[in-house]
Structure 1
Amino acid sequence: MNTEFPLLENCNPITCYSGRIMRIDRIISNIFRDHISNFGLTNSQLSILFYTSKKGIVSQSLLSEVLYLEKSSVSRNMKRLLQAKLLQKTNSRQIEITLKGKKLLEDVIPEWNKAMEKVNSILKPEGQHAFDLIYNKLTK
């Protein structure tokens, strides 16, 4: 055993929650990316469109808060969605989804459902329950 770096020697990064969550995120994100990339959307952009379609008029700060995205990420993605005319400004601080955005979501949803089915088939009911439990604990 190397006694010069005892903390390093005894550290097991495989058990790190952050690292494991990041790996889970990459695995699941790749599944969704495979299904939605043909629509020219990122996972973050899809989340913004979905949330906006359900809530109506929203602010950038609300999107950042509820989607757990950095404000700069929301800003960058909103800019692209505004340029694509999938979102429109209602005033200087708020946006809403456009008819074009809603039509795109109608086209995306069947592929999104396929991605959901794939993830659910991997997780099985016990994994889905565990996922929901962890999510609910972290987002209270």
Structure 2
Amino acid sequence: MNYPLLEATDPTTCLSGKMSRISRITANIFRKHIKEYGLSNSQMSLLFVLSKRRDLTQKELCDILFMEKSTLNRNLKRLVDQKYVTKKDFPALNITETGKAHLEKAIPAWRKAMKEIRSLLLADGEEAVDTILTKLKQSQL
């Protein structure tokens, strides 16, 4: 059999693959620092958003974080089970005092992860990440 498209394609140039690798490397650095707090990167992001905004719906959280509904549901279930998030006023979701206290304890580890990543990226790398995020977010509006 002949597969001309397959033979002519270089998967190492795939932007999705590159972005996925960037995401996994970054997630591994964060995981290393925050693992003792029993939070994933996604869960920490959810807690940060809920600490800054009240009464968000699941759809609003998905939109803010560009998160798949299934990923959001899986992480929210864990956060609700741990009493870090409440669905008391469902569909509105809110961080609890327990969630705020736990996030407060985890922030120094999160800051260490940020420092490590910034030391690897340097200013131009962080600026490039910001530029990429801005451009890609615009396509989602």
C-alpha displacement of 1:4: 1.9
Q: Is 2:139 the counterpart of 1:109?
A: no
Which of these residues, 21, 27, 38, is aligned with residue 29 of structure 1?
27
Q: Which amino acid aligns with 2:28?
A: N
RMSD across aligned positions (CA): 1.2
Q: Which amino acid aligns with 1:39?
A: Y
Aligned equivalent of 2:72:
74
C-alpha displacement of 1:13: 0.5
Aligned equivalent of 2:123:
125
What percent of counterpart residues are identical?
45
TM-score (norm 2): 0.94
Q: What is the aligned residue count?
A: 138
TM-score (norm 1): 0.94
Per-residue CA deviation, residues 4-59 of structure 1 (Å, 9 max, x unaligned), is 22111110100000000010000000000011111011111111100000012211
In the TM superposition, structure 1's runs of 4+ consecutive aligned residues that sit over 6 Å from their partners are: none
Stretches of structure 1 lacking an aligned partner (at least 5 in a row): none
Structure 1 range deviating more: 84-93 or 48-57: 84-93
Q: Which amino acid aligns with 1:64?
A: C
Alpha-carbon distance in structure 1 between the residues aligned to 2:70 and 2:5: 36
Which of these residues, 10, 18, 26, is aligned with residue 12 of structure 1?
10
Aligned equivalent of 1:88:
86
Per-residue CA deviation, residues 69-88 of structure 1 (Å, 9 max, x unaligned), is 11111111111111111011
Aligned equivalent of 1:57:
55
Partner-residue secondary structure (3-state), 2:93: strand
Partner-residue secondary structure (3-state), 1:85: coil
Contact 1:57 1:90 in 2 (8 A): no
C-alpha displacement of 1:105: 0.9
